[in-house]
């Protein structure tokens, strides 16, 4: 039994938590989310390089919340998601445990302060490769960028898998479901696809922790991560603000500084 399975068994057996949300083996060897509620089932848990999903997405589901206190198997981005959700008053202190799998032992983080300390030791900046890709894309001409996104968005099906996969897209009533007025047209055509993708990106500006689940969920492979990383980068350079590093910080777009840059305003 791996250290992770052992830890999960222990937590469930002692009733410290009612459910362990982790990764299990799905069809074709793919990793999938599993919800372990009995100590005897702890052996179903796995953790390896295929386990990429940000499991914090389930923390916002009422049917998961009903299960009771959860222990969540986390990756670095998952921890930042938890802090961001806490900062947005979406999850309460002591409502979950975070299990950080590592080679030797399982680190258990029980408080937001412990998660903050853990995240502080990680590098939350975009990676060098991500920055380079962003730089390359920004260096393209305006028309080239437009053609690129037109081609990308023309494949969008409006399936909203990006929204479903995103742990921070938790509104119970999304703007796309509002039809008075109809902000986003229902059919998947180029104008509506652009509007949807602009809106999705804007609503995540200053909140997205760059976990990459939207891009992984997209069935037609639209590189949504580029939009998110652009906003992550702009919010950091413009406002010196980073999401998901504190359980108490304000979102960049719900606060301001009197001396924010305004060279573009007449």
Partner 1 sequence: MPDFEPKIVAFVCNWCTYAGADLTGTSRMKYSPQVAIIRFPCTGRIDFMLLLKAFASGADGIIVSGCHPNDCHYSSGNFHARRRWIVFRGLLDFLGIDVRRVQFSWVSAAEGAKWAQLVNETAEHIRGLGPFTGYQRLRGLGVE
In the complex, least distance from residue 213 CB atom to partner 1, rounded to whole angstroms: 20
Determine, following the binding rule CB under 8 A, whether residue 68 of this chain makes contact with partner 1.
no
Determine, following the binding rule CB under 8 A, whether residue 62 of this chain makes contact with partner 1.
no
Quick one: which of 44, 88, 130, 195 contacts partner 1 (CB under 8 A)? 195
Determine, following the binding rule CB under 8 A, whether residue 139 of this chain makes contact with partner 1.
no
DSSP letter for 72, please: E
Determine, following the binding rule CB under 8 A, whether residue 190 of this chain makes contact with partner 1.
yes
Q: Which string of b and e fits 75-86 if b means at least 16 CB within 10 Å? A: bbbbbbbbbbbb
3-state secondary structure 32-57: EEEEECCHHHHHHCECCCCCCCCHHH
Determine, following the binding rule CB under 8 A, whether residue 192 of this chain makes contact with partner 1.
yes
Determine, following the binding rule CB under 8 A, whether residue 201 of this chain makes contact with partner 1.
yes
Quick one: which of 107, 108, 174, 253 contacts partner 1 (CB under 8 A)? 253
Decide: 98 and 108 in contact? Cβ < 8 Å: yes
Q: Which is nearer to partner 1, 29 or 258 (CB)?
A: 258
In the complex, least distance from residue 67 CB atom to partner 1, rounded to whole angstroms: 36
Residues 209-238: x where in contact with partner 1 by CB under 8 A, - otherwise, as a string: -----------------xx--xx--xx--x
Determine, following the binding rule CB under 8 A, whether residue 101 of this chain makes contact with partner 1.
no
Q: Which is nearer to partner 1, 120 or 140 (CB)?
A: 140
In three-state secondary structure terms, 98 is strand
Determine, following the binding rule CB under 8 A, whether residue 26 of this chain makes contact with partner 1.
no
Quick one: which of 198, 216, 236, 249 contacts partner 1 (CB under 8 A)? 198
DSSP letter for 125, please: S
Stretch near partner 1 under the rule CB under 8 A, chosen from 1-9, 11-19, 93-101, 194-202: 194-202
Cα separation, 211 vs 225, in Å, equals 9
Q: Could you identify the residue written with the tokens 């029980």?
A: 110
Determine, following the binding rule CB under 8 A, whether residue 162 of this chain makes contact with partner 1.
no
Determine, following the binding rule CB under 8 A, whether residue 191 of this chain makes contact with partner 1.
yes
Phi, psi for residue 113 in degrees, rounded to 5: -60, -40
Give the contacts of 52 (CB within 8 A, at least 6 positions apart): 31, 75, 212, 213, 216
Q: Which string of b and e fits 19-50 if b means at least 16 CB within 10 Å? A: bbbbbbeeeeeebebbbbeebebbebbbbeee
Determine, following the binding rule CB under 8 A, whether residue 185 of this chain makes contact with partner 1.
yes
Q: Which of 66, 75, 2 is nearest to 33 (CA)?
A: 75
Interaction site with partner 1 (CB under 8 A)? 137-138, 142-150, 175, 183, 185, 187, 189-192, 194-195, 198-199, 201-202, 205-206, 226-227, 230-231, 234-235, 238-239, 252-258, 260-262, 264-266
């Amino acid at each position: 039994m791996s250290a992770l399975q052992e830890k999960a068994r222990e937590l469930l057996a002692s009733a410290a938590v009612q459910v362990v949300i982790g990764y299990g083996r799905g069809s074709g060897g793919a990793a999938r989310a599993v919800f372990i509620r009995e100590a005897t089932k702890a052996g179903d848990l796995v953790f390896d390089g295929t386990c990429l999903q940000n499991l914090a997405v389930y923390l916002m589901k009422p049917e998961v919340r009903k299960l009771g206190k959860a222990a969540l198997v986390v990756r670095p981005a998952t921890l930042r998601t938890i802090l961001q959700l806490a900062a947005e008053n979406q999850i309460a202190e002591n409502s979950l445990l975070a299990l950080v799998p590592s080679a030797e032992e399982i680190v258990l983080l029980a408080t937001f302060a412990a998660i903050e300390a853990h995240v502080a030791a990680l590098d939350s900046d975009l990676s060098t490769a991500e920055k380079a890709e962003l730089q390359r894309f920004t260096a393209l001409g305006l028309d080239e960028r437009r053609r690129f996104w037109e081609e990308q968005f023309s494949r969008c099906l409006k399936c909203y898998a990006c929204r479903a996969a995103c742990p921070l897209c938790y509104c119970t009533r999304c703007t796309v479901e509002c039809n008075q007025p109809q902000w986003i047209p229902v059919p998947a055509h180029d104008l509506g696809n652009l509007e949807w993708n602009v809106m999705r990106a804007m609503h995540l500006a200053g909140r997205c922790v760059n976990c990459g689940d939207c891009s992984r969920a997209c069935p037609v492979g639209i590189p949504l991560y580029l939009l998110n990383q652009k906003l992550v980068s702009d919010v950091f350079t413009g406002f010196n603000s980073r999401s998901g590093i504190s359980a108490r910080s304000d979102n960049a777009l719900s606060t301001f500084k009197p001396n924010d840059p305004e060279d573009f305003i007449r």
